[in-house]
């Protein structure tokens, strides 16, 4: 197990390197630069800017300098578009926000989704099952860029109970809509997966045996059925995590939370190379770590799996 973790971590380094080089090359090939503005800059000013940010160097040297500054100083450089701030500062400001609502949405999706799925499986073919399946199918395909403005309309304008956007770490009322908008579709998917895998487990031999022994139903479910039924859910968590990061772009745009999802899209569109690279590396690292975590969790629940 330990060796497995080490091996996976060892793969992470070339992965990140590949990602950095790929993104760097892609950015440098794109038309327009960070200083392409409505008014063409006088050549002298442009030359000053490019010299200051090291954009005159050959590409390999830029990549090299960039890597050195990350590895040696943990410095992702200055932002081109937000000259008052460094990339480290921008990420330090935006990431905790994304992490807060993203983390809550993740937990909500898993907890509610699993609960709903288990309930639907237990009361299979009752109105509760149909309701749960119906809702989850609908929620699964409603794009969050429809959901988000709808929530603002309902809770901010019509009922006036929640702020329509913005962010505060001290006031949970700012978190509610981002969490709902981000988690609903995953909640629905998790409910569906849990339901079908729970049904499968409940129909299996060892559960029949447990029941035959006269074990109470609640105990059967909690002690024997839940754990194996969770396996498909767990293997689904990695992809959920990745697409939640993508979904955070929509959340940031509609709720003005100041998270890093929008920072990434903006930086790609504005050619803010440094921010784009910083966010890409951050998300790449998180993805790798999270996938690792999921694998470990999987092995822990299902000891049959050996790495």
Partner 1 sequence: MTKLFATTALVAALAMPAYAVQPAEGETLAETQTYTYWLLDAIKSLDPGKNTDVEGSDVLRQLFEGLMNENAEGEMIPGVAESYEVSEDGLTYTFNLRDANWSNGEPVTAEDFVYGWQRVVTPAFASEYAWYIELMNVANATQVIAGEMEPSELGVRAVDDKTLEVTLSEPTPYFINTLSLATTYPVPRALVEELGDAWIQPQNIVGNGAYTLASHNLGVEIVMQKNPEYWDAENVVMETVRGVTVNDNNVALTRYQAGELDRVQIPAGQFPRLEAEFPDQATSVPYGCSYAYVFNLSEKGPEVLKDQRVREAMALSLNRDVIVDQILQGGQRPAYTWTHWAINGFAAPEGGMQDMTQDERVERARELLAEAGYGPDNPVRLQLQYNTDENHRLLAIAAQQFWRPLGIEIELNNVEWAVHTDRLQNQDFEMARYAWCADYNEASTFLDWFRTDGYNSGKWSNAEYDQILAEAATAEDTEPLYRRAEEILDAEVPAVWVYHYAKVDMINESIKGLPTENLRNTWYAKDLYRVAE
Partner 2 sequence: MVIDQTKMQSLSARLVQDEVKGRSPWADARKRFFRNKAAMFGLTILVLVTLFAALGGQFAAWSGEELDFSVMGRVAELGAPSLANGHYFGTDNLGRDLFARVVQGTQISLMVGIVGAAIAVIVGTLYGATAGYVGGRTDQIMMRAVDILMSIPYMFVLILLLVMFGRSMSMLFLGIGLISWLDMSRIVRGQTLSLKNREFIEAARATGVSSFRIIIRHIVPNLLGVVAVYATLLVPLMILTESFISFLGLGVQEPLTSWGALISEGAGTMNYGTLWQLAFPLFFFVITLFGFFFVGDGLRDALDPKER
Note whether 269 binds partner 1 by CB under 8 A: yes
- Rounded to a whole number of angstroms, the minimum distance from the CB of residue 55 to partner 2 is 17
Each residue 167-196 as x (binds partner 2 by CB under 8 A) or -, in order, gives ------------------xx--x---x--x
Position among 82, 95, 167, 264 found at the interface with partner 2 (CB under 8 A): 264
If one asks whether residue 37 binds partner 1 (CB under 8 A), the answer comes out as yes
Tell me if 281 sits within 8 A of 20, measured CB to CB.
yes
Least separation in angstroms between CB 215 and partner 2 = 20
Residues in region 148-167 near partner 2 by CB under 8 A: 149-150, 153, 157
- Residue by residue, what is the 3-state secondary structure of the chain? CHHHHHHHHHHHHHHHHHHHHHHHHHHHHCCCCCCCCCCCCCHHHHHHHHHHHCCCCCHHHHHHHHHHHHHHHCCCCECCCCCCCEHHHHHHHHHHHHHHHHHHHHHHHHHHHHHHHHHHHHCCCCHHHHHHHHHHHHHHHCCHHHHHHHHHHHHHHHCCCCCCCCCCCCCHHHCHHHHHHHHHHHHHHHHHHHHHHHHHHHCCHHHHHHHHCCCCHHHHHHHHHHHHHHHHHHHHHHHHHHHHHHHHHHHHHHHCCCCHHHHHHHHHHHCCHHHHHHHHHHHHHHHHHHHHHHHHHHHHHCCCCCC
The answer to whether residue 128 forms part of the interface with partner 2 (CB under 8 A) is no
Site for partner 2 in 29-48 (CB under 8 A): 29-30
Phi-psi region of 306 (alpha: psi -120 to 50; beta: other; left: phi over 0): beta
Determine the interface stretch with partner 1 among 67-75, 128-136, 207-215, 256-264 (rule: CB under 8 A).
Answer: 256-264
Nearest residue (CB) to partner 1, 48 versus 243 = 48
Residue 199 as a binder of partner 1 (CB under 8 A): the answer is no
170 binds partner 1 (CB under 8 A): no
> Which two structure tokens, joined as six digits, stand for 232?
């498909």
Q: How far is CA 231 from CA 12, 162, 196, 294, in A?
A: 24, 37, 12, 10
Which of partner 2, partner 1, none lies near 235, with the C-beta cut-off 5 to 8 A by kind? partner 2
Residue 258 found at the interface with partner 1 (CB under 8 A): yes
Query: Does 142 engage in binding with partner 2 (CB under 8 A)?
Result: yes
Q: Is 45 in the site for partner 1 (CB under 8 A)?
A: yes
76 or 241: whose CB is closer to partner 1?
76
Nearer to partner 1, 136 or 257 (CB): 257
Given partner 1, partner 2, none, residue 36, with its beta carbon under 5 to 8 Å by kind, binds partner 1
CA–CA separation, 107 vs 101, rounded Å? 10
Q: Does 75 bind partner 2 (CB under 8 A)?
A: no
Of 140, 156, 204, 291, the one binding partner 1 by CB under 8 A: 156
Asked if 59 interacts with partner 1 (CB under 8 A), we say no
| Contacts to partner 2 from residues 201-260, by CB under 8 A | 203-204, 231-232, 235-236, 239-240, 242-243, 245-246, 249-250
**Which residue in 192, 195, 224, 271 binds partner 1 (CB under 8 A)?**
271
Query: Smaller CB distance to partner 2: residue 21 or 215?
Result: 21
């Amino acid at each position: 197990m330990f060796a497995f973790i080490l091996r996976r971590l060892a793969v992470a380094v070339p992965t990140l390197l590949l990602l950095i080089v790929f993104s760097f090359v892609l950015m440098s090939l794109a038309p327009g630069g960070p200083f392409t503005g409505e008014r063409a800059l006088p050549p002298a000013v442009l030359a000053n800017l490019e010299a200051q940010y090291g954009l005159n160097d050959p590409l390999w040297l830029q990549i090299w300098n960039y890597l050195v500054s990350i590895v040696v100083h943990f410095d992702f450089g200055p932002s081109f578009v937000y000259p008052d701030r460094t990339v480290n500062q921008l990420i330090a400001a935006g990431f905790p926000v994304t992490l807060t609502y993203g983390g809550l949405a993740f937990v909500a999706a898993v907890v509610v989704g699993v609960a709903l799925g288990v309930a639907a499986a237990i009361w299979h073919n009752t109105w509760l099952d149909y309701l749960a399946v119906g809702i989850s199918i609908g929620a699964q395909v409603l794009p969050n860029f429809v959901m988000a403005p709808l929530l603002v309309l309902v809770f901010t304008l019509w009922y006036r109970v929640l702020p329509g956007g913005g962010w505060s770490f001290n006031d949970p009322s700012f978190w509610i809509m981002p969490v709902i908008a981000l988690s609903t579709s995953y909640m629905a998917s998790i409910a569906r997966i849990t339901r079908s895998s729970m049904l499968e487990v409940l129909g299996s031999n060892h559960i029949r045996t447990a029941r035959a022994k006269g074990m109470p139903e609640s105990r059967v479910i909690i002690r024997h059925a839940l754990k194996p039924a969770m396996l498909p859910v767990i293997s689904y968590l990695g992809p959920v995590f990745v697409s939640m990061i993508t979904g955070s772009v929509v959340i940031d745009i509609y709720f003005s939370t100041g998270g890093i999802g929008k920072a990434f899209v903006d930086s790609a569109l504005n050619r803010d190379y440094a921010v784009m690279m910083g966010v890409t590396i951050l998300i790449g690292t998180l993805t790798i770590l999270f996938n690792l975590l999921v694998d470990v969790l999987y092995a822990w629940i299902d000891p049959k799996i050996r790495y």
